Amino acid sequence: MPHEPNAAPNGGDLLESYVIDRIEDGAWAVLEDPHGRTIDLPRAWLPTDAEEGTTVRIEVVHEADGSSTHRWTIDVAAGRERSERIRSLRDALKRAPSGDLDL
């Protein structure tokens, strides 16, 4: 099934959302998609304030001359949703009993 991109606020296409897994040697970023696949790309392609754990989205901007540009943006809403989902999962974990344990 072909991927149907979402509309970006400026009329471009929003493609996939990624989380910055890590920055290597300050020059490369390793991003993970929702399916656990990773891609490496130059750190300079990402917003300057993006850091490990930041959710970013790639946007394809269609220019008037028919060309297109790829732009990476921070997805604040998706990052907040991800943090809330992780917090909810963490809170749902069973807690160890308090007090002394008999072995």
Q: Tens digits of per-residue pLDDT, 52-85?
A: 999 999 888 888 999 988 889 999 888 888 889 8
Q: Looking at the whole model, is its pTM more than 0.75? A: no
Q: What residues does each domain of the chain span?
A: 6-92
Query: Do the Cβ atoms of 7 and 56 come closer than 8 Å?
Result: no
Question: pLDDT by residue (tens digit) across 13-22?
Answer: 557 889 999 9
Instruction: Enumerate helices (H) and strands (E) in the chain, giving the number of each.
Output: 1, 6
* Nearest partner of 21 among 9, 10, 29, judged by Cα: 29
d(CA 77, CA 59): 15
6-92 topology per CATH:
OB fold (Dihydrolipoamide Acetyltransferase, E2P) (2.40.50)
